[in-house]
Structure 1
Amino acid sequence: MEKIILDVDTGIDDALAIILAEESGQLDILGITAVNGNVPVDTVMTNTKKMIQLMKQDSYTVYRGASRPLVRDAFHEFLVHGRDGLGGALAGMEVEPGDPQLFAPDFIIEQVKKYPGEVTLIMVGPLTNLALAIQKAPEALKKVKQVVIMGGLVQKAGFGNTLPTSEFNIFADAEAARIVFHAGLPVKLISLDVTTQTFLTREHIEQLKGTYYYDFVLKSTEIYRKYTKEKLGMDGCALHDPLTVGVVLDPTLVKTAKYYVDVETKGELSYGQTICDFRNLLKKEPNVEICLDVDAERFVEMFLKVLGKKEVR
């Protein structure tokens, strides 16, 4: 099984990504690292522990990471995920207090050193933890197998979800993203260009009725689906973070190509924009594998099949 570290800012789609990673049975989850993002890092820690409890797992440790971006003030997305980050779905669940002493970036460094060339980092939140790890141990991080990132927007400028040209995870810490993109690591970017095509509708959710995760998926996505309905007129939500896990499970879900990609960190209207040099105008070596297309229907089918196989007991 592929060894992975999941780096999350656990809101709703992070939670669904965690379930997909676990229930797929194909991934060796070395640990989960928490980062400030959709909600503050304290809430991320609580939510991630709740997900582990929901999945009836006790073998995963959650490592606390960065509580703020490298340079800017913290930015959150309560409108999409609710104040608690999970749309109130697990409001009554209690989790054990206390966290490991090891800082999340240090855990990433430790595992990449321990398993050189074997660890895939699945990053579905802002990239602060990885940027801090790179700054501390740049040569060690080059031993990572691959870095698969949910973030950015490269082909559809104007269709961002934070600024017109910017996606939330990159916008939330663009300086960190820039460090990661230029660190010489094998980066694959799962951007809004493809994640917005993987749409979970209310009808899809009903296919899970009678299975273990039905109630959680229905309740947790309620606020997210309401937000989407107000914005797009559709009752559903994009599976941004789950697709990122899905691409690790099955790389053929997406069509990719490698280009030079940089991150805007200064523009008032374009902060956090991921700029892809499709025409090689900058004459720089490609550094990021981007997604050009996705088999969205096949991925949604995979997602429903994996979550639906767990029965209520």
Structure 2
Amino acid sequence: MLSELQYNVIQDLLAKVLDVDPSMVTPSTHLRDELCLDSLQQVELQAWLAARGVDLAALPPGGPQTVGDVQALVDAVDAVDAAHDGGQARQAASLPGPASGPAHPVLHSAQLALRPVSPEYVPFLYDLATREEVGWRWRFRGAIPDIETFQAGLRQGALSQFVVVVAPNGEPVGTVSCYNADLHRGIAFLAAAFVPEHVAGGVPMTAVGMFLRYLFQVWDLRKIYMEVPDFNYTQIASGAGKYFEVEGHLREHSYYDGRYWDEYMLAIYRRHVVDPRPRP
């Protein structure tokens, strides 16, 4: 029954973050099978848990399965906080310090970091671009270039590009790239790819969000486009209007596996990523 769930889980997470009708939820409601959370919503769930002090590294494979599991994780953190200082130390640690001039770009967190594309990462990027689970979705759409051709074109058209590595061992798990920038019009394009083992976790959303904040901070961009085929769009569709706007829909645009797929042109505006600020 709803009375068995704390108010913060029902209203803060389900209604506000995941846009789920609270009247449809009980502690036994399954997050994927019944609420049908897409990949983006699952990442939002992990980000919400991390913000409340849940150790994501300690989660079981696949993460929480039911709404009751989510509540149990939050209750465990609350119990630890109550036994110590009521969580005041954790809350105080998250407060920003006083501003002292322009802030430098942030390219790391406790979870991951964005590293320049140095030669040591080229073999990883080549493997990522040609992996059978990833290659058909990304850049070459199944074509397999030789590594010399791949390396020669790695930075072609790129304004900025990073390799995503995870803490604590610095293992590379993905890449983010901004390309075809038109700084006169204030627009650019974004691409990202990650090894499948990290797609369901919080790494992609954290890395892409960090990269977007970097781009909007360093360059006077108005919006950043993403070209997303339908078989990828269904994984992030819940973010429309919240994390991006759908500004184009190309019917039967890309061929794969016996059919033509629609492609979506998504636009990420500054307001989707950073707080509004006066524009000159």
Q: How high is the TM-score relative to the length of structure 1?
A: 0.23
| Structure with greater Cα Rg | 2
Q: Which has the higher contact order (CA 8 A, sep 6+)?
A: 1
Q: How high is the TM-score relative to the length of structure 2?
A: 0.25
